[in-house]
Homo-oligomer: A and B are copies of this chain.
Amino acid sequence: MSTDKTAAVIVIGNEVLSGKVDESNATFLIRELRELGVTLKSVHVIPDEMETIAETVARASSKFDWVFTTGGIGPTHDDMTVPAIARGFGLELVVHPELNALLLRHCGDSPNEHLQRMARVPAGSELVWAEGLTFPVLVVRNVYVFPGDPKILRRKFLAIRGRFRSAPFTLRRIFTTCDEGELAALMEETESSRRGVQIGSYPVYDNPEYKVQITIESKDPAQADEAFEQLCSRIPAASIVRVA
């Protein structure tokens, strides 16, 4: 198992971009991936457009270890995620016999042309089954194709999440009454002197307790702890409100 896997989430749907639906799938996946130790590098919300989906998925697939798409997999004209992924990879759409049998069972003996379309997937696609699933998860190369319905997405992701386990992150935090400007040089120096440690700086306004939250994180717990100690020893003690 590699210790640092990267991922992208692609949310497909005009309904999100036009504000008809509040996005919750990316929020769910952000938390899950974090907990799994996966480094999420991109969340992209894009419209139901064939070329945009094709290009966005293909680019993310080549850059990151895993890509998770949500939305656009029903039987209607605005559901084009699966054919778009085929186009992005230059793969043919072929009827998947197992998926076809499932759809026939699900929709009765005579599904119409639009429902039958749903049995067509990019050549070489894999169906991933797990306990509790009525329908499998479609996987095309490193792209996991999830529906837009938040309940079904959650059920499917949770059923297969074990595949995505990576090394966990260690996170330490310092809350201080210093200004960001005073801390800038110290944080920059600390980050650049330690490989694999990321230091974040989050100012808050209107907070009587502290002005800046410093986050120190790494996949190497010793490095995170050392960077944390280094910062604590160099920030005036009186201005450290608390640590975590």
A30 to B113, CA, bound (A): 35
B interface footprint on A172-187 (CB within 8 Å = 1, 0 otherwise): 0000000011111101
Which A residues between 23 and 81 are near B, CB-CB below 8 angstroms?
Answer: 23, 26-27, 30-31, 34, 40-47, 52, 74-79
CB within 8 Å for A184 and B30 given contacts A20-B200, A20-B215, A43-B44: no
What chain B residues lie within 8 Å of A15 (beta carbons)?
Answer: 200, 202, 215
A65 to chain B, nearest CB (A): 15
Q: Is the CB of A114 within 8 A of B185?
A: yes
Cβ B22 vs Cβ A200 within 8 A = no
| Inter-subunit contact B40/A181 (CB<8 Å) | no
B75 adjacent to A180 (CB under 8 Å) = yes
Which residues of B sit under 8 angstroms from A181, Cβ to Cβ? 75, 107, 111-112, 114-115
Which residues from chain B contact A76 at a C-beta distance below 8 Å?
Answer: 180, 183-184, 187-188, 201
Let me know if B14 and A205 touch, CB within 8 A: no
Q: Which of A141-156 contact B (CB under 8 A)?
A: 149, 151-152
Question: Does A132 touch B at the CB level, under 8 Å?
Answer: no
Question: Are B43 and A201 in contact (CB-based, < 8 A)?
Answer: no
Q: Does chain B have a CB within 8 A of A199?
A: yes
Interface residues in chain A, defined as those with a beta carbon under 8 Å from any beta carbon in chain B: 14-23, 26-27, 30-31, 34, 40-47, 52, 74-79, 107, 111-115, 149, 151-152, 169, 180-185, 187-188, 191-192, 198-203, 205-206, 215, 217
30 sample A-B contacts, Cβ–Cβ < 8 Å, listed by A number: A14-B198, A16-B30, A17-B40, A18-B34, A18-B40, A19-B30, A19-B31, A20-B200, A20-B215, A21-B202, A22-B27, A23-B27, A26-B45, A42-B46, A43-B44, A43-B45, A44-B44, A75-B184, A76-B183, A76-B184, A77-B191, A77-B192, A77-B201, A78-B200, A79-B201, A111-B181, A114-B181, A114-B185, A115-B184, A151-B206
